[in-house]
């Protein structure tokens, strides 16, 4: 398949060259998605009519915004007015939000062409995209494998060239881990940097929306568009947003990169460890200073997350009762039975597991032993980072201990699945910005990603470091979409 989305800038050139009405381009792009998606299933479904209408609206505009006609894929837990928003769950069957998420308004104001319906794990619970009620998305590098999760559709669609860029959400790694497994860039901003208004909540104190892109320059541009204070989100930070694109092309001589010993452990696949070590050497050659650091509470992060996350999720998911939204069980005798059967019939196994875990951890008698304790551990994890950032500017780790695993390999073993996020969860617990960037392939030809984490609201350091790495390597140029046939060469 032709690579028309290698960068936002090159796509803008391509659009200009086409000299075609936007409606025609939009239908070409939707056909292209449909043909590749027979193999990938990155989208739960695409609404061609809605896309054509959005293209017509753009065409009618007198001015052209910064992202004019740029196809941006939207994870199916971000509300677009009147568009089917399912969270990949049966319980939200037929739900069409009556309002737009703030990020959606911002993208529309920049004249992006929104392509909604990207597949995900149900309610973002998962690391493989297999808990989707609509079936799994496949990894474009090897369609027998998972793309990562929960934003699996967001990562697979960008990696395969179905869309130019996408939005995902990240509660414990859901942007970074799939970006790593699909060989693209994924950025989780600082908690509070991007409005969560209109993001269907999983764990409100951890969730953040962020971009998935083919390169750092596109990521910086997307961050500029979607970031900023929003009075509709009470946790949104009232701070100026830096011009992220001004931090591209910077020198990183003297940049202090922290290497935490707790992240280079025996469970990492050799192929991952090797690539990340080579990447560290690249940074060294570019003049960065490597600093050995310790984040001693790292080993408690997964346990802490699997109390805090499910506790918040169990409360957030209480609203799905068969009355307000979506699915309602037929034939119940009374109201209570209707609540119970609707939830029982329409939540998948992982969603039920999280609700049970969370309800248990919050219940009287266990609250102090589990939830309160987890909050204390969370404070310790945040304090570790504060201490570490006294000696370094940015922290480098692998994003995921493994490359993409086979579909079905871990789905019946939740504990092993939960360990997929061992390196990404701490940044959520501490509210820090963190990104995954491609750093090569393992011996099976599967992408490896490295993670960069920075102090709160210092996304610019990550952009500076990541772009320096990207300028001096070719990993981001690998294009998974080259493996797919374009059945539609009419353009």
Report, as residue numbers or ranges, the catalytic residues. 75, 150, 174
- Can you tell me the distance from the alpha carbon of 119 to that of 134, in angstroms, rounded to the nearest whole number? 8
Does 191 bind ligand GLN (CB under 6 A)? Our answer is no
Tell me which residue of 476, 442, 480 sits closest to 278, measured CA to CA: 442
Comparing every residue's Cβ against ligand GLN, the nearest one is 174
Residue 257: strand pairing partners? 290, 394
Does 314 bind ligand GLN (CB under 6 A)? Our answer is no
- The Cβ of residue 460 has, within 10 Å, a number of other Cβ atoms equal to 18
Segment interacting with ligand GLN (CB under 6 A) among 110-118, 169-177, 251-259, 333-341: 169-177
Does 122 bind ligand GLN (CB under 6 A)? Our answer is no
Interface map 229-268 toward ligand GLN (x if CB under 6 A): ----------------------------------------
Does 309 bind ligand GLN (CB under 6 A)? Our answer is yes
Q: How far is the CB of 206 from ligand GLN (least distance, A)?
A: 8
Q: Give the H or E element holding residue 437.
A: strand 434-441
Q: How far is the CB of 329 from ligand GLN (least distance, A)?
A: 26
Residue-level length of the chain: 491
Q: How far is the CB of 427 from ligand GLN (least distance, A)?
A: 11
Residue 246 exposure: Cα atoms within 13 Å on the Cβ side:
3
Nearer Cβ to ligand GLN (171/314): 171
Does 186 bind ligand GLN (CB under 6 A)? Our answer is no
Q: How far is the CB of 485 from ligand GLN (least distance, A)?
A: 32
Does 125 bind ligand GLN (CB under 6 A)? Our answer is yes
- The Cβ of residue 411 has, within 10 Å, a number of other Cβ atoms equal to 18
Does 153 bind ligand GLN (CB under 6 A)? Our answer is no
Does 127 bind ligand GLN (CB under 6 A)? Our answer is yes
Nearer Cβ to ligand GLN (75/476): 75
Q: How far is the CB of 257 from ligand GLN (least distance, A)?
A: 25
Segment interacting with ligand GLN (CB under 6 A) among 80-88, 120-128, 408-416, 435-443: 120-128
Does 89 bind ligand GLN (CB under 6 A)? Our answer is no
Sheet holding 289-293, edge to edge: 113-118, 71-75, 165-170, 208-213, 185-188, 434-441, 447-453, 394-398, 256-260, 289-293
Q: How far is the CB of 409 from ligand GLN (least distance, A)?
A: 15
Taking CB under 6 A as the criterion, the residue among 132, 150, 157, 298 binding ligand GLN is 150
Nearer Cβ to ligand GLN (117/481): 117
Written as six digits, the tokens of 358 are: 């969370």
Segment interacting with ligand GLN (CB under 6 A) among 97-105, 171-179, 240-248, 402-410: 171-179
Q: Phi first, then psi: give them for residue 187, nearest 5 degrees.
A: -130, 120
Nearer Cβ to ligand GLN (384/421): 421
- Can you tell me the distance from the alpha carbon of 59 to that of 53, in angstroms, rounded to the nearest whole number? 10
Tell me which residue of 240, 233, 244, 239 sits closest to 209, measured CA to CA: 233
Binding to ligand GLN, residues 329-348 (CB under 6 A): none
Written as six digits, the tokens of 229 are: 């204070």
Query: If DSSP codes are grouped into helix, strand and coil, which group holds residue 38?
Result: helix
Nearer Cβ to ligand GLN (54/193): 193
Segment interacting with ligand GLN (CB under 6 A) among 10-18, 45-53, 172-180, 328-336: 172-180
The residues, ordered by sequence, that sit 6+ positions from 353 with a Cβ below 8 Å of its Cβ are 414
Q: How far is the CB of 75 from ligand GLN (least distance, A)?
A: 10
SS percent in the chain: helix, strand, coil, step 5: 45, 15, 45
Footprint on this chain of ligand GLN (rule: CB under 6 A): 124-127, 150, 170-174, 202, 309, 421
């Amino acid at each position: 398949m032709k690579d028309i989305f290698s960068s936002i800038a090159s796509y803008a050139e391509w659009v200009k060259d086409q000299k075609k009405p936007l409606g025609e381009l939009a239908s070409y792009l939707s056909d292209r998605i449909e043909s590749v998606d027979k193999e990938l299933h990155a989208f739960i479904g695409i609404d061609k009519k809605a896309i054509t209408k959005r293209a017509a609206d753009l065409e009618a505009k007198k001015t052209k915004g910064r992202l004019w006609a740029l196809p941006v894929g939207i994870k199916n837990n971000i509300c677009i007015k009147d568009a089917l928003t399912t969270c990949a769950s049966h319980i939200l069957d037929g739900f069409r939000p009556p309002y737009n998420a703030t990020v959606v308004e911002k993208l529309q104001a920049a004249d992006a062409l929104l392509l909604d319906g990207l597949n995900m794990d149900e309610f973002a619970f998962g690391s493989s995209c297999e808990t989707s009620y609509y079936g799994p998305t496949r990894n474009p590098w090897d369609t027998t494998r998972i793309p990562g999760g929960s934003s699996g559709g967001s990562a697979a669609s960008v990696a395969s060239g179905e869309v130019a860029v996408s939005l995902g959400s990240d509660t414990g790694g859901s942007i970074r881990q799939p970006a790593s497994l699909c060989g693209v860039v994924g950025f989780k901003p600082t908690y509070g940097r991007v409005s969560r208004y209109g993001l269907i909540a999983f764990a409100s104190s951890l969730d953040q929306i962020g971009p998935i892109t083919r390169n750092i320059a596109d990521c910086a541009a997307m961050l500029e568009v979607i970031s900023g204070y929003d009075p509709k989100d009470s946790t949104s930070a009232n701070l100026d947003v830096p011009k992220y694109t001004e931090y591209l092309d910077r020198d990183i001589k003297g940049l202090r990169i922290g290497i935490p010993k707790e992240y280079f452990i025996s469970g990492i696949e050799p192929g991952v460890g090797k690539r990340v070590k080579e990447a560290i050497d690249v940074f060294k050659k570019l003049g960065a200073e490597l600093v050995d650091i310790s984040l001693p509470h790292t080993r408690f992060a997964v346990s802490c997350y699997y109390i805090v996350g499910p506790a918040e999720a169990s409360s957030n998911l209480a609203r799905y009762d068969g009355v307000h939204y979506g699915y309602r069980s037929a034939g119940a005798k009374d109201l209570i039975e209707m609540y119970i059967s609707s939830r029982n019939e329409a939540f998948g196994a992982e969603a039920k597991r999280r609700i049970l875990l969370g309800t248990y951890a919050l219940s009287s008698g266990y609250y102090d032993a589990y939830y309160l304790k987890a909050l204390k551990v969370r404070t310790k994890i945040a304090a570790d980072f504060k201490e570490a950032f006294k000696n370094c500017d940015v922290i480098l780790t692998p994003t995921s201990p493994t490359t993409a695993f086979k579909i079905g390999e871990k789905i019946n073993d939740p504990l092993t699945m939960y360990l997929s996020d061992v390196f990404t969860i701490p940044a959520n617990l501490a509210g820090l910005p963190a990104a995954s960037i491609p750093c090569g392939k393992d011996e099976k030809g599967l992408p490896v990603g490295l993670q960069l984490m920075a102090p709160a609201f210092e996304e610019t350091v990550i952009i500076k470091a990541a772009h320096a790495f990207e300028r001096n390597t070719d990993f981001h140029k690998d294009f998974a979409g080259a493996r797919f046939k374009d059945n539609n060469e009419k353009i």
